[in-house]
Structure 1
Amino acid sequence: MIKTSHLIEALVADARPVRRLRPPVLRAALWLLLAALIFGLLAVGHGVRPDLAQRLEQPDFIVGTAAALLTGVLAAVASFMLNLPDRSRGWALLPVPALLVWMATLGYGCLVNWVSIGPYGVQVGETARCFATVLMTSLPLSLAMLAMLRHGAVLSASTVSLTGSLAVAAITATAMSIFHSLDASVMILVWNLGTAVLIVALGRWLGPRLAAAGR
């Protein structure tokens, strides 16, 4: 039987250097920089909503948009903090106050305007038209978040997944408030957080079965 000291020496000899992760706040800032770049591309290619100036005069719109943006920023920071094993699980509560304010300002336009019926029959409503913009915003942000979190801790994978998805949803909803006249926040939240919950549930269901099959 190999001695413990020899085993340790063998493991050390074959060990590869591990590159330290960047500070979580810096990683969150880089991700938010990507979000800002996407906003800029949308502004150039799509233009802002035509009634943005009027909407900016309405307190409920300003509060709702600011709360959504702040939720995205804080959820991104929380996700990268939770990605480290030595950070408190309490970081998951960081975006909650802003999220509650955002939830209080949500409208229901996306629930009632998916399909509009006009004189020429059934026509796609504003929500369907803005779906492409939702996809162009959330997809690159989701892929970037996944790539930046893949080397972190897996001890709290479900919490990291949910906070990361919340960050994507909030930033995407902010983009919709600026570039589209329809409030699609509910649809975006259901899409992003629903997908995250589904992934977490599948992981917890399949994990023990895969482990048992590998024995």
Structure 2
Amino acid sequence: MTRTSDLIDVLVTDATPVRRLRLPATRAACWLLFAIAVMLFVGIAHGVRADLALKLHQPVFVIGMVAAMATAILAALGAFIASVPGWSRRWLLLPVPASLVWVVTIGYGCLTNWVTIGPEGISMGETARCFATLALVGTPLSLLTLVMLRHVVRLSPGPVMVVGSLAVAAMTAVALSILHPLDATAMILLWNFGVTTLYILLGGRYGQRLLGWVAPR
């Protein structure tokens, strides 16, 4: 029977160096820089909404944009912190205050402007462009989040993936608000609440499988 000391010596001899993860704040900053780069690329290719300058003078729109951006940043930071072994999962609650403000501004806009779509409604062309923006912004951010959180695959990743998905949804909502004139109508529920719910459900339901697919063996 192998003695404990001999076993330790064998394990130490055969051990390979492990690359330490970067600090959660550093990883969150890298994620945010990538998100901004994607939004700039899509914004240059698509162009911002024609009434953006006017909307930036409306407090509800500005507060909603800031709250959505804060939700994305805090959710990303909370997910990266909570993915570190030994750190408290309470960090996942970090985006809750900002997300509540975001939801309130959306609800207020819908209640006060829920019939402002106009006589011609929203054309299929604009809807198609919104879906394209959603895919161009949300898809790379989702894949990056998946890769950056792959190390949490064996540590009950469900809650972490849910918050990471919330970060992606909030950042996508920011892009949609800047590029498309669909806020303060029923469409805001589809794009903001719908996108958020979709990412959260997919992250919570398939997060472990997806993380297992990209995690190193």
Q: Which residue of 1 aligns with 2:212?
A: none
Letter in 2 for 1:195: L
Query: 2 CA distance for matches of 1:124 and 1:193?
Result: 27
Q: Which residue of 2 aligns with 1:73?
A: 73
Q: Does 1:163 align with 2:163?
A: yes
Q: Which residue of 1 aligns with 2:202?
A: 195
Query: 2 CA distance for matches of 1:161 and 1:10?
Result: 37
In the alignment, is the contact (CA less than 8 A) between 2:78 and 2:94 conserved in 1? yes
Query: 1 CA distance for matches of 2:197 and 2:39?
Result: 22
1:16 Cα deviation from its structure 2 partner: 1.0
Q: Which residue of 1 aligns with 2:33?
A: 33
In the alignment, is the contact (CA less than 8 A) between 2:35 and 2:141 conserved in 1? yes
Query: 2 CA distance for matches of 1:28 and 1:154?
Result: 21
Query: 2 CA distance for matches of 1:6 and 1:127?
Result: 67
Q: How does 1:7-156 map to 2 (within 5 A)?
A: 7-106=7-106, 124=124, 126-152=126-152, 154-156=154-156
Instruction: Work out the number of aligned pairs and report it.
Output: 196
Q: Which residue of 2 aligns with 1:2?
A: 2
In the alignment, is the contact (CA less than 8 A) between 1:35 and 1:141 conserved in 2? yes
Q: Which residue of 2 aligns with 1:186?
A: 193
1:7 Cα deviation from its structure 2 partner: 1.7
1:155 Cα deviation from its structure 2 partner: 2.3
1:21 Cα deviation from its structure 2 partner: 0.6
Give every structure 1 segment of 4 or more consecutive aligned residues whose post-TM-superposition deviation is greater than 6 Å: none
Structure 2 vs 1, CA of residues 189 and 125 (structure 1 numbering), >3 Å: closer, same or farther? farther
Q: Which residue of 1 aligns with 2:214?
A: none
Query: 1 CA distance for matches of 2:105 and 2:125?
Result: 22
In the alignment, is the contact (CA less than 8 A) between 1:72 and 1:168 conserved in 2? yes
Provide the aligned C-alpha RMSD in A: 2.7
Q: Which residue of 1 aligns with 2:185?
A: none
Larger mean Cα displacement after TM superposition, 124-133 or 142-151: 124-133
- Identity rate, percent: 48
Q: Does 1:176 align with 2:173?
A: no
Query: 2 CA distance for matches of 1:172 and 1:198?
Result: 20
In the alignment, is the contact (CA less than 8 A) between 2:162 and 2:201 conserved in 1? no
Query: 2 CA distance for matches of 1:164 and 1:173?
Result: 14
1:131 Cα deviation from its structure 2 partner: 0.8
Letter in 1 for 2:181: S
Unaligned runs of 5+ in 1: 204-215
1:88 Cα deviation from its structure 2 partner: 1.5
Unaligned runs of 5+ in 2: 183-187, 210-217
In the alignment, is the contact (CA less than 8 A) between 2:158 and 2:205 conserved in 1? no
In the alignment, is the contact (CA less than 8 A) between 1:82 and 1:159 conserved in 2? no
1:152 Cα deviation from its structure 2 partner: 4.1
1:19 Cα deviation from its structure 2 partner: 0.8
